[in-house]
Amino acid sequence: MNLPFRLQSFRHGVHPDDHKQGTEHLVVEHMPFVGRYVLPLGQGGKPAKPTVTRGQRVRRGERIATADGFVSTSLHAPVDGTIVDLGRHRHPNGDLVDCIEIEADAFSLQTIVPHATVDPDTLDVDNFVAHVQQGGIVGLGGAAFPAHVKYKTPAEKPVRHFVLNGCECEPFLTCDHRTMVERPAEVLRGARIIAKKLGATDIHIGVEHNKPDAIAALRAQVLPGEAIHVTPLEVKYPQGAEKMLIKALFGQEVPAGKLPLDVGCVVNNVGTMVAIADWFDRGIPLIERVVTVSGPGVRRPANVRVPLGTPVRDLLAHCAGTVPETREFVMGGPMMGSSLASIDVPVLKGTSGVLAFTAAETARGNEFGCLKCGRCLDACANFLNPSVLARLSRHGEFDALEANFVMDCMECGACSFTCPSNIPIVQLIRVAKSAIRDQKRKEKKP
């Protein structure tokens, strides 16, 4: 750290090269409309129920599927077009899932038909939550958890702080950065709506200090005397993990197995706030999102506002395609995103980035035995002992794994990142966690 003072942060973590210089100054551009869009019904929470039939014409912004249950969100048409299929298509995770496929109307002007705007102050909490759900809004940080679920807080757990996550600690990704720089007014508008509805006393926005322009842009929007704090944080992975962000901002830990709400916090991504502001003030549901297309394999890295359901292949083509040396496509960030088996899959609500890596990044050295060097302990923001967890996972010692808090692992991958022996630590932990969950499920229903 070459700074004269120490920025707020959590303890432990790793410092990957941020690789953001390729896209951090690029203004968000619009993805041109393409021929076909595929929208998986499940994009955060339980899959939605289609409200359209095959052959039906839909307008851009029109609802095409409705939330099924509380932890579920609506889905809207990203383009004017015709429903050509209600069937199973390839999801980025490799599964075949129920989707709505739309063929875009090539002759349409693609103007959005806005829904009625709503003044959030006129809604009680239940109607407010229902309205957010209608907007199809999910957390845009990557996990795509339905946003409204967090706003339905039990009375015995009052909210003190509404926290906005502008850390963007994943290398390569700059979509949140550009959102904060280009749309700070909407970020704060959304934040004010939510904070007021939650009854939060203040708003805290945590931004890693490698985004000074974003910090300045947000601060310029804060009214004098307003309880909104924009806090620069140390550049460190996983700073954007909810629990790490809370530790960094308030020095407080969220008890294991509990939620931020248990310490009086609700955390949202900055991009989600723009979606909230657009939905309430302009009547535009979540039909597009900003995606960072980057990585050494991409010919023209860019931040692109992409209609949901756009095939990744078309998005990459918009960015001048990829180099022949490309060996891996990743959806999301390089630390927690997932490899794509095919680029003929759609952009989802939770797609923060599409990255292409070449052989230089995908090459892996030999795996060595664990040297007990302790680097993974220094990396683990949850203060686990990843080296021991990996060893126990290899031996299938599930009881010992649980006793060593394996279920507290958030799978950020800092341990694997730093391991000099190239041990796939977090992968071994994932295997163990899912085996333990399976075991628990079996015990429940004998």
Partner 1 sequence: MSAFDKTLQIRSSPHILSGNSVDHIMFHVVLALLPAAAFACFAFGLTAVLTLLVAVGACVGIEHVLCVANRKPSTVGDWSAVITGLLYGLTLPPGLPLWMVAIGGGIAIVVGKLVFGGLGQNPFNPALVGRAILQAAFPVAMTTWPVAMAEGRFSGLPSSLLTLPFLTPRYDGVTAATPLSAWKFDHHLAGTSDLALGFTGGSLGETCALLIGLGGLYLAARRMLNWRIPVAILATVALFAGILHLSDPARFAGPLFHLFSGGLMLGAVFMATDMVGSPLTHLGSVIYGVVIGVLVVLIRVFGGMPEGVMYAILIGNALVPHLDNLLRPRVYGTRAGKGAKA
For 231, residues 6+ apart whose C-beta sits below 8 A from its C-beta are: 8, 204, 205, 206, 207, 248, 249
- How far is the CA of 402 from the CAs of 389, 396, 398, 407, in angstroms? 9, 11, 6, 7
- Do residues 89 and 71 lie in contact, with contact meaning Cβ atoms separated by under 8 Å? no
145-204 residues near partner 1, rule: CB under 8 A: 171
At 375, is the secondary structure helix, strand, or coil? helix
Q: Is 292 in the site for partner 1 (CB under 8 A)?
A: no
Q: Which is nearer to partner 1, 180 or 384 (CB)?
A: 384
Rule CB under 8 A: choose which of 422, 438, 439, 440 binds partner 1. 422
Stretch that binds partner 1, among 47-55, 70-78, 191-199, 404-412 (CB under 8 A): 404-412
Residue 208's closest CA among 166, 243, 179, 176?
Answer: 166
Please say whether the dihedral angle defined by the alpha carbons of residues 338, 343, 344 and 346, taken in this order, is positive or negative: positive
Going across the sheet that includes 338-339, the strands are 29-30, 302-307, 288-294, 353-358, 326-331, 338-339
Q: Is 350 in the site for partner 1 (CB under 8 A)?
A: no
Q: Which is nearer to partner 1, 103 or 378 (CB)?
A: 378
Q: How far is the CB of 331 from partner 1 (least distance, A)?
A: 11
Q: How far is the CB of 75 from partner 1 (least distance, A)?
A: 27
Residue that has been written with the tokens 């341990």 in this structure = 415
Q: Is 117 in the site for partner 1 (CB under 8 A)?
A: no
Q: Is 256 in the site for partner 1 (CB under 8 A)?
A: yes
Rule CB under 8 A: choose which of 139, 337, 346, 350 binds partner 1. 337
Helix or strand (DSSP H, E) at 189:
helix 184-198
- Token readout for 404 is 């060593």
- Do residues 270 and 176 lie in contact, with contact meaning Cβ atoms separated by under 8 Å? yes
Residue that has been written with the tokens 């730093």 in this structure = 418
User: How many residues bind partner 1, per CB under 8 A?
Assistant: 70
Q: Is 413 in the site for partner 1 (CB under 8 A)?
A: yes
Q: Which is nearer to partner 1, 179 or 421 (CB)?
A: 421
Stretch that binds partner 1, among 145-153, 160-168, 222-230, 405-413 (CB under 8 A): 405-413
Q: Is 403 in the site for partner 1 (CB under 8 A)?
A: yes
What does the alpha-carbon distance between residue 239 and residue 220 come to, in Å, rounded to a whole number? 24
Q: Is 2 in the site for partner 1 (CB under 8 A)?
A: no
Q: Is 351 in the site for partner 1 (CB under 8 A)?
A: no
Q: Which is nearer to partner 1, 290 or 380 (CB)?
A: 380
Q: Is 23 in the site for partner 1 (CB under 8 A)?
A: no
Rule CB under 8 A: choose which of 104, 147, 214, 419 binds partner 1. 419
Q: How far is the CB of 400 from partner 1 (least distance, A)?
A: 6
Q: Which is nearer to partner 1, 29 or 408 (CB)?
A: 408
Q: Is 284 in the site for partner 1 (CB under 8 A)?
A: no
For 14, residues 6+ apart whose C-beta sits below 8 A from its C-beta are: 236, 237, 379, 414, 417, 418
What does the alpha-carbon distance between residue 29 and residue 13 come to, in Å, rounded to a whole number? 33
What is the phi-psi region of residue 44: left when phi exceeds 0, alpha when psi lies from -120 to 50, beta otherwise? left
Q: Is 421 in the site for partner 1 (CB under 8 A)?
A: yes
Residue that has been written with the tokens 């010919």 in this structure = 299
Q: Is 1 in the site for partner 1 (CB under 8 A)?
A: no
Q: Which is nearer to partner 1, 80 or 208 (CB)?
A: 208
Q: Which is nearer to partner 1, 70 or 405 (CB)?
A: 405
Q: Which is nearer to partner 1, 134 or 416 (CB)?
A: 416
Q: Is 247 in the site for partner 1 (CB under 8 A)?
A: yes
Stretch that binds partner 1, among 34-42, 117-125, 195-203, 391-399 (CB under 8 A): 391-399
Whether cis (ω within 30° of 0) applies to the bond prior to 446 is no
Stretch that binds partner 1, among 135-143, 146-154, 184-192, 411-419 (CB under 8 A): 411-419
- Do residues 14 and 234 lie in contact, with contact meaning Cβ atoms separated by under 8 Å? no
Helix, strand, coil distribution of the chain in percent, nearest 5: 30, 20, 50
Q: Is 366 in the site for partner 1 (CB under 8 A)?
A: yes
Q: Is 339 in the site for partner 1 (CB under 8 A)?
A: yes
Q: Which is nearer to partner 1, 37 or 357 (CB)?
A: 357
Q: Is 341 in the site for partner 1 (CB under 8 A)?
A: yes
Going across the sheet that includes 228-233, the strands are 228-233, 202-208, 161-166, 265-269
Q: How far is the CB of 127 from partner 1 (least distance, A)?
A: 34
Burial of 53 (0-12, 13-18, 19+ CB in 10 A): exposed
List residues near partner 1 by CB under 8 A: 14, 16, 171, 243, 247, 253-258, 327-330, 332, 334-341, 355, 357, 359, 361-362, 364-366, 368-375, 377, 381-385, 387-388, 391-392, 399-400, 403-405, 408, 411, 413-414, 416-422, 424, 426-427, 430
